[in-house]
Amino acid sequence: MRPAAPRRQACGMSEPALERLARLIGIAPDYWDIWGGLHHTSDATRVALLKAMRVIAEESDAPAALKEREERPWRRGLPAVAVLREEAVPYRWEVSVAERHADWPHRWMLALETGEARAGEFRPAQLAAVGRREIDGTRYLRAAFEWRERLPLGYHRFTLEPAQAAAPVSMTLIISPGRCHVPPAIAAGARQWGAALQLYAVKSARNWGIGDFTDLRNGLDITGSAGAGTAGLNPLHALYPHNPEHCSPYSPSSRLFLNPLYLDVEAVPEFAECEAARNAVADARFQARLAALRGAGLVDYPGVAEAKLAVLAALHSHFREHHLAKRTPRGNAFLSFQRSGGAPLTRFALFHALQADFHAKDASIEGWPAWPEPYRDPAAPQVREYLAMNSERVEFHAWLQWLADEQLAACARRSRELGLAVGLYRDLAVSVDRAGADAWTWQELLAGRASIGAPPDDFNLHGQDWGLPPFIPERLTASAYAPFVWTLRANMRHAGALRVDHVMGLMRLYWVPPGAKPADGCYVHYPFHDLLGILALESQRNRCLVIGEDLGTVPDAVREALAPLGVLSCRLLLFEKERGGGFKPPAAYPAQALVAVTTHDLPTLKGYWLGHDLDLRARLGLFPSEEMQARFTAARAADRPQLLAALEREGLLPPGVTVEPASAPGMTAELALAVHAYLARTPASLMTVQMEDVFGELEQTNVPGTTTQHPNWRRKLALELEQWAADPRFAAFAAMLRRERAAGEEKPTADERR
């Protein structure tokens, strides 16, 4: 057991005030590590995080900051937001008034999301008192306001007009359902399966060196025709067109928008209209570039971006002249997209236009914190002036988003036409890059200098710093969770399912203070049940199944809260073991789960069986000690006979293979099929299969803890998309999955699916 951190460190301030302030803000006083050690949050960490949250500027500010926050709900009159379950009638929230006015009539107004408005009066003194407090000579009454009529789901606005002619105060009232959406087929007990795709990794005879939305649509045709009910995708979040080498989908510029490198340029309608663009693409030199991009084993992001963006810029000019200027139906459709995108779309497009300009002048400028000071504020007059002077440049980035939305929508339509029970299964990253568009837009809500990470564990004895900024809990609440709402809507768009990465983050995130070591971090709590209510509301509205990525150390309270909401858990074969080290039998898996053998952050099945990932970690110096390497190597050696024994119990061992690992020195296609058949027998509602495992790939997609040491997010599949359907390995997997998962079950109608 690791020794606990010291309880206190001298920081020159009143400890009770500091601890109370930290607890009020959400900073946890302690946490248990994976070895059973209790770690107390030090005063130094509290101070650093409170500064990062901009709660205090100096250590001595803690008592005043505590007083202000304890008094704020009494002075304000209403909370900023209340999230209530639809069935929790009577609805109840607290109002606070000066007690001397408590017997006076107070006017209230409720503006429903539908536009309907209601109004009335009440006397606070006649309500059930919750508490009283005197502040600066004024005595306040806090009372429980009750609404006895069932309200519709949605985002409403409740306003209180105090009797003493003070300014009205309002709160956002969110009425949420008790459960997330579950597709009819899954609700009826059907067990669905699908391919897990890293879209960029799809190789085809027609793409421009990176998998694109047309590849996705064609992949749906292949897998959907074979019986798949879903297609899992890596995050499609917007990255950095000016710096395509920044290619991690889990460190995006924005989670609200799409990566335009996934566009199929030749499928853009303007390409068929623009002879100059077609001639440029048909040029022998350009075709040679495309052939080289297609033939590369790794995605050449700079080469792909250069080729695509040059042609797209020409198509944008054509669009402006032939559609926008003439207000054709297509031009009007784009204008409608701009209007519906509103301020978030404008700010996103502005960010990328500004970043491209600044980077062109100085290649060292990466992200808004490095911009000239006046441009760091999205509301600054210099930013408005830039927009006015560079509207076409800004429009280009909005236009790319429109095209991407069109092409992704076409993929979603195709999934419905094919009868996929779930459809596209998208992935939501836990946060954004601190220098990107979302961080620029929401900089007042983010702790820009702190980082999300993880506490020490076996693989990372010093903890992890992911370099992603967390939202400040009290500021997120004050915004009525607007960024969370927008992010969910954007990622549930055109999706039948959404995986929420690190779903534990809805309850708590591990924060690393600015400039500190990860081991010096602590957990910060979030308004978990409010966020779950919004998740359920957006899930129902978008008819989107929710999968919570709950791998690793998960507080019991997280799974206990997610299960009644209908959120699917994530279970990986490689992690699901019994106390003695054996693999859990299929029947031991929960039904309300998504299961897979492995993921993008873990070795492929072939790599796992051969221990290739352990060799790679050793070569890259990722083991903290030789003892740790030896322990993991021994554990892997013990896993092999256990996995073979599990297959034997299910009667799945291929001919010639026994429970002795020597009988299976390699991961053959037959053994890989057997391993997946084992998992397919679980009662889990959803199963995904990595195409890397179908085709026997060795290298994994991403090696955590590496940046330039390993080609993360670049490796392509060896087999071209056009060859999938005829490949005997794919045919065998599809036949097995149809047999083991949901063969013969009636598919839902198109109306039921959506």
16 pLDDT higher than 90:
no
Query: Each residue of 21-79: pLDDT tens digit?
Result: 999 999 999 999 988 999 999 999 999 999 999 999 999 999 999 999 999 999 999 99
Residue 1 within a domain: no
Kindly state whether residues 231 and 94 are assigned to the same domain: no
Residue 102 within a domain: yes
Q: Identify the three-state secondary structure at position 701.
A: coil
Residue 753 within a domain: no
Average pLDDT over residues 153-165: 89
Instruction: Kindly state the helix (H) or strand (E) to which residue 522 belongs, with its residue range.
Output: strand 522-525
Average pLDDT over residues 536-542: 99
Kindly state whether residues 298 and 264 are assigned to the same domain: yes
Domain boundary among 176, 198, 213: 176
Q: What is the pLDDT of residue 457?
A: 85
Kindly state whether residues 103 and 247 are assigned to the same domain: no
Domain range for 594 = 184-742
239 pLDDT higher than 70:
yes
Question: What are residue 17's phi and psi, to 5 degrees?
Answer: -65, -40
Residue 626 within a domain: yes
Confidence of residue 14 (pLDDT cuts 50, 70, 90): very low
Query: Each residue of 736-748: pLDDT tens digit?
Result: 999 999 743 443 4
> Do 237 and 255 contact (CB within 8 A), yes or no?
yes
Confidence of residue 552 (pLDDT cuts 50, 70, 90): confident
CB-side exposure of 438: number of CA atoms within 13 Å? 29
CB-side exposure of 81: number of CA atoms within 13 Å? 22
Average pLDDT over residues 618-647: 96
Kindly state whether residues 482 and 353 are assigned to the same domain: yes
Domain boundary among 152, 176, 200: 176
Residue 423 within a domain: yes
Query: Each residue of 216-234: pLDDT tens digit?
Result: 999 999 999 999 999 999 9
Kindly state whether residues 156 and 279 are assigned to the same domain: no
Average pLDDT over residues 229-253: 98
751 pLDDT higher than 90:
no
Residue 750 within a domain: no
Average pLDDT over residues 720-743: 94
Q: What is the pLDDT of residue 236?
A: 99
Number of domains in the chain: 3
Residue 148 maps to which CATH number?
A: 2.60.40
Kindly state whether residues 258 and 288 are assigned to the same domain: yes
Residue 395 maps to which CATH number?
A: 3.20.20.80
Q: Show the DSSP H helices in 566-604 as ranges.
A: none
For residue 100, which of 166, 143, 164, 159 has the smallest C-alpha distance?
164
Average pLDDT over residues 362-386: 97
Kindly state whether residues 471 and 521 are assigned to the same domain: yes
Domain boundary among 118, 144, 176: 176
Residue 618 within a domain: yes
> Do 583 and 642 contact (CB within 8 A), yes or no?
yes
Question: What are residue 473's phi and psi, to 5 degrees?
Answer: -55, -50
Confidence of residue 15 (pLDDT cuts 50, 70, 90): low
Query: Each residue of 161-184: pLDDT tens digit?
Result: 987 667 899 999 999 999 999 999
Give the separation between CA 423 and CA 181, rounded to whole angstroms.
14
Kindly state whether residues 419 and 521 are assigned to the same domain: yes
Residue 699 within a domain: yes
Percent of the chain having pLDDT more than 90?
93
Instruction: Kindly state the helix (H) or strand (E) to which residue 170 belongs, with its residue range.
Output: strand 169-176
How many angstroms separate the Cα of 528 from the Cα of each of 26, 328, 331, 582?
A: 11, 47, 43, 34
Give the separation between CA 734 and CA 726, rounded to whole angstroms.
12
Question: What are residue 406's phi and psi, to 5 degrees?
Answer: -60, -45
Query: Each residue of 250-307: pLDDT tens digit?
Result: 999 999 999 999 999 999 999 999 999 999 999 999 999 999 999 999 999 999 999 9
Residue type, 84: L
Average pLDDT over residues 392-399: 99
Query: Each residue of 336-356: pLDDT tens digit?
Result: 999 999 999 999 999 999 999
Kindly state whether residues 95 and 41 are assigned to the same domain: no
Kindly state whether residues 530 and 666 are assigned to the same domain: yes
Q: What is the pLDDT of residue 167?
A: 86
527 pLDDT higher than 50:
yes
Kindly state whether residues 133 and 188 are assigned to the same domain: no
Kindly state whether residues 616 and 727 are assigned to the same domain: yes
Chain mean pLDDT for the chain? 95
Q: Show the DSSP H helices in 522-668 as ranges.
A: 528-542, 556-565, 605-610, 612-619, 626-649
Percent of the chain having pLDDT more than 70?
96
Q: What is the pLDDT of residue 495?
A: 99
Give the separation between CA 421 and CA 187, rounded to whole angstroms.
11
Q: What is the pLDDT of residue 489?
A: 99
Q: What is the pLDDT of residue 165?
A: 62
